[in-house]
């Protein structure tokens, strides 16, 4: 079983609007409201693929209730700490005609020191009452929470014997990586943030990941590069998984889906090559559908079979 930590989840609303434009009335042809947030997406895909995942974090207000109800409706195990302020609303506008994706993400609630202390006590209870194979810290931090908490959370999970995973950006990524998690999953932009230089090719990504992995004492640097696939950089081996070609509907949460597939295969004891195939299958299958992590298991399997893995070292 894995635990995903999402401190700033959201109600995720996706509108499908053909020919979306400013200064005009836009009417969605489809509207989808789901529980959102990176760790929730990971838990969704993990659960869909037959694994056991528990989602935790902070939820508050009406939007918090919407998220809880949605998670229950989907059969995603969850155990959140309630906060006083309203959980945020994130809106995505997908325009299939212009092939654009527009996001409007609220900053979200300000969390108090008392609420964060309650969360840490809650995490402590979860870690002592379950035996999680992996604990993944996913996504951004809400206002009021110092980035150093990410390091504290990861260290606590490490002490409990779990493999730790970090998928974040900005200060949370920089602070969290200092805990030397087992695996860090930056996308191209996040890798650039860490490397402080542009990542213009797969080869540059490989060099950056190799150096950063050593610097931070991370076991696995897993860089996802959108349609260019992903790199698995570890001490003894390096792989490039090529993404299967698909008709892209929305690649939002393809990284979360990729991570879910990868962690599930690793938890089951699969080889790195097979784990990368399942991961690429989940990332691609997610890109083919609207919404974050709503990929179909049979499509994930089909895409996984199409994913090519090459060993680099």
Ligand X SMILES: Nc1ncnc2c1ncn2[C@@H]1O[C@H](COP(=O)(O)OP(=O)(O)OP(=O)(O)O)[C@@H](O)[C@H]1O
- Find the binder of ligand X among 134, 136, 179, 251 (CB under 6 A): 251
Q: Which is nearer to ligand X, 176 or 255 (CB)?
A: 255
267 binds ligand X (CB under 6 A): no
Q: Residues binding ligand X: what is the number (CB under 6 A)?
A: 21
Residue 96 is a binding residue for ligand X (CB under 6 A): no
Question: Which stretch, 8-16, 123-131, 202-210, 227-235, contacts ligand X (CB under 6 A)?
Answer: 227-235
> Least distance to ligand X from the beta carbon of 31, Å?
20
Task: Compare residues 87 and 168 and give the one whose CB is closer to ligand X.
Answer: 168
Which position's Cβ is nearest ligand X? 255
- Binding test (CB under 6 A) with ligand X, winner from 47, 63, 187, 210: 187
If binding is defined by CB under 6 A, does position 246 make contact with ligand X? yes
Does position 229 interact with ligand X (CB under 6 A)? The reply is yes
Task: Give the residue from 178, 114, 176, 180 showing the smallest Cα distance to 139.
Answer: 176
Binding span for ligand X by CB under 6 A among 7-15, 57-65, 218-226, 260-268? 218-226
Does residue number 4 form part of the binding site for ligand X (CB under 6 A)?
A: no
The span of 78-86, 118-126, 140-148, 225-233 binding ligand X (CB under 6 A) equals 225-233
36, 255, 281, 291: which one binds Mg ion (CB under 5 A):
255
Q: How far is CA 95 from CA 14, 100, 229, in A?
A: 11, 5, 24
Q: Which stretch binds ligand X (CB under 6 A): 22-30, 48-56, 89-97, 244-252?
A: 244-252
Q: Is the Cβ of residue 162 or residue 287 nearer to ligand X in the bound state?
A: 287
Q: Is 285 in the site for ligand X (CB under 6 A)?
A: no
12, 79, 256, 298: the catalytic one is: 256
Query: How big is the chain by its Cα radius of gyration, in Å?
Result: 18
Q: Which is nearer to ligand X, 134 or 241 (CB)?
A: 241
Closest C-alpha to 94, from 150, 8, 19, 146: 19
Shortest distance, position 214 Cβ to ligand X, whole Å: 22
Q: Which of 201, 222, 193, 198 is nearest to 210 (CA)?
A: 222
> What's CA 47's distance to the chain center, in Å?
14
- Rounded CA-CA distance 162/157 in Å is 6
Q: Is 157 in the site for ligand X (CB under 6 A)?
A: no
Is 298 an annotated catalytic residue?
no
CB of 278 to ligand X, least distance (A): 11
Q: Which residues does the annotation mark as catalytic?
A: 256
Kindly list the residues in this chain that would bind ligand X in the complex (CB under 6 A): 187, 224-227, 229-230, 243, 246, 248, 251-256, 258, 280, 283-284, 287
Residues making contact with Mg ion (CB under 5 A): 187, 255
């Amino acid at each position: 079983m894995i635990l995903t930590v999402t401190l700033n989840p959201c109600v995720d609303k996706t509108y499908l609007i053909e020919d979306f434009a400013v200064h005009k009335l836009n009417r969605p042809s489809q509207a989808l409201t789901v529980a959102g947030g990176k760790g929730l997406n990971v838990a969704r895909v993990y659960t869909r693929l037959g694994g056991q995942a528990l989602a935790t974090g902070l939820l508050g207000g009406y939007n918090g209730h919407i998220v809880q109800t949605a998670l229950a409706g989907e059969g995603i195990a969850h155990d959140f700490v309630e906060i006083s302020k309203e959980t945020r609303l994130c809106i995505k506008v997908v325009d299939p005609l212009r092939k654009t994706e527009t996001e409007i993400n609220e900053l979200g609630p300000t969390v108090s020191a008392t609420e964060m202390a309650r969360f840490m006590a809650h995490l402590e209870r979860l870690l002592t009452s379950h035996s999680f194979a992996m604990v993944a810290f996913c996504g951004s931090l809400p206002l009021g929470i110092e980035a150093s908490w990410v390091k504290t959370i990861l260290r606590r999970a490490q002490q409990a014997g779990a493999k730790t995973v970090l998928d974040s950006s900005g200060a949370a990524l920089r602070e969290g990586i200092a805990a030397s998690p087992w695996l860090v999953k930056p996308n191209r932009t996040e890798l650039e943030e860490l490397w402080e230089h542009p990542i213009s090719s797969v080869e540059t990504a490989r060099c950056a990941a190799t150096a950063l992995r050593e610097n931070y004492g991370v076991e696995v640097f897993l860089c996802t590069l959108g349609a260019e696939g992903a790199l698995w950089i570890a001490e003894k081996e390096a792989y490039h998984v090529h993404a299967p070609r698909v008709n892209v509907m929305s690649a939002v949460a393809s990284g979360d889906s990729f991570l879910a597939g990868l962690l599930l295969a690793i938890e089951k004891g699969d080889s790195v090559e097979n784990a990368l195939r399942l991961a690429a299958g989940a990332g691609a299958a997610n890109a083919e559908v609207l919404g974050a992590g709503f990929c179909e298991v049979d499509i994930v399997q089909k895409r996984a079979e199409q994913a090519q893995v090459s060993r680099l070292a």
